Amino acid sequence: GAVVSQHPSRVICKSGTSVKIECRSLDFQATTMFWYRQFPKQSLMLMATSNEGSKATYEQGVEKDKFLINHASLTLSTLTVTSAHPEDSSFYICSASGGSEAFFGQGTRLTVV
């Protein structure tokens, strides 16, 4: 299957700082990218959907000013957690789709201290 690379795999940051997570489709053009958040022992919750060149569509309850999503090219989307707080600590996973199937990145474990 197609490859989606997510970086970094783990990050620890101080409270109040911002963290950027990258999601790249390595061998296909991703017209749509999705960002998920996964709490311990829970399922994946969709945060937002982004289409290349358009503003992201956020799910209800997700703060768009806190979780900034950029999808400037067909192979790269970024999620920036701004002014991170300990409650933002979680596992974030991106997925990229060029058609009817989505491929997932390896995930990013964010810890805010």
Partner 1 sequence: AQSVTQPDIHITVSEGASLELRCNYSYGATPYLFWYVQSPGQGLQLLLKYFSGDTLVQGIKGFEAEFKRSQSSFNLRKPSVHWSDAAEYFCAVVEFEGNKLVFGAGTILRVKS
For residues 50 and 75, which CB has a smaller minimum distance to partner 1 in the complex?
50
For residues 34 and 67, which CB has a smaller minimum distance to partner 1 in the complex?
34
Q: Residue 92: CB partners within 8 Å, gap ≥ 6?
A: 21, 35, 36, 37, 38, 79, 107, 108, 110
List residues binding partner 1 (CB under 8 A). 1, 4, 6, 32, 34, 42-44, 46, 49, 57, 91, 93, 95, 97, 100-107, 109
For residues 16 and 55, which CB has a smaller minimum distance to partner 1 in the complex?
55
Task: Please tell me the number of Cα atoms within 13 Å of 107 on its side-chain side.
Answer: 12
